[in-house]
Amino acid sequence: MIDYIRENLSYYPMYYRLIFKTKKEFTPERVDYGPDRNQYFLYYEPAKPVSGKVVIWVHGGGWNAGDPKFFDFVGQSMAKAGYRFVSMGYRLSPKNKYPAQIEDVCRCFNAAVRYLKDKGIGTSELIVSGPSAGAHLSSIMCYSKKVQEKYNVDVSNVIGYIGVGGPYSFRKDQGMTLKMLLGMLFAKGYDRTEGEPWSLMDKSHIPMLLIQSRHDGLLAFECAEDFAEKAATVGNRCEIYEVEDKRNTHSWYTAGCFLFSREEDKTLNRFMTWIENI
């Protein structure tokens, strides 16, 4: 309960920092891949790329809120660090029930890869990442062969995956907030194992870093532990990083970390260090 209250109290200082402490240095290019207003992605080109790696990111927001434009500060942070960055959008619940979201993420991924190739940008070193709901969706795309085959997604060029604060397993002891959000995401009677990363994981070449906090306030730390145990069972490389910063509630560490520098935020530093070393 204390961490839930801390999570709710974090919103004002986060928005304050977003509005008054961040600068917009890069103008992303918008690419639509469908008719819905959220079926688009933003591409950020850094002034001086530091490597050939491209980070493909799926936003969070409880499946029912957010879009790439709202999370522009994440793209700004990554482009400033020298990484080409794709921020993907998808149709939202409750108007659009699952599997609309994973269908869009897969479709958007394919559109982004084509876009990069058309621009002459290499796609042999892709890193997929997402926070919260974005971790849920991006992990399914990366680790479910069933989903990859259904939506014709080729993840052979994905060299790493970073999930931040993800609901990878739908535990019975999950909090009321997640129960409510899942109730909005899935239609009544839908087999939720068809949308649960833990249930859908297959053996994969993609190593993963799971960033999770024991003081999340919305999600249990055990969600990451469940996913890591499943990864070990099927033979996938997995590392869990436990958030150490005092800003360790859900919104702060899943997205708010990008409002700080690496020197100011250990979570962001671990995120960036892992990308550098993969």
User: What was the pLDDT predicted at 208?
Assistant: 98
User: What was the pLDDT predicted at 169?
Assistant: 97
**Domain range 2-277, CATH class:** alpha beta
131 within 8 A of 224, measured Cβ to Cβ: no
Q: How far apart are CA 275 and CA 278, in angstroms?
A: 5
Kindly list the averaged pLDDT for each block of 10 residues, start to end, along the chain of length 278.
84 86 92 98 97 98 97 98 98 98 98 98 98 98 98 98 97 88 97 98 98 95 97 98 96 96 97 97
User: Which residues, other chains included, contact 276 with Cβ-Cβ below 8 Å and sequence gap of 6+?
Assistant: 51
Q: What is the DSSP letter of 109?
A: H
CA 160 remoteness from chain centre = 13
Q: How far apart are CA 239 and CA 208, in angstroms?
A: 6
Q: What is the DSSP letter of 187?
A: P
CA distances from 13 to 9, 67, 161, 264 (A): 8, 21, 29, 16
175 within 8 A of 218, measured Cβ to Cβ: yes
151 within 8 A of 117, measured Cβ to Cβ: no
User: What was the pLDDT predicted at 160?
Assistant: 98
Task: Count CB atoms within 10 A of the CB of residue 252.
Answer: 28
Q: How far apart are CA 199 and CA 20, in angstroms?
A: 42
pTM > 0.85: yes or no: yes
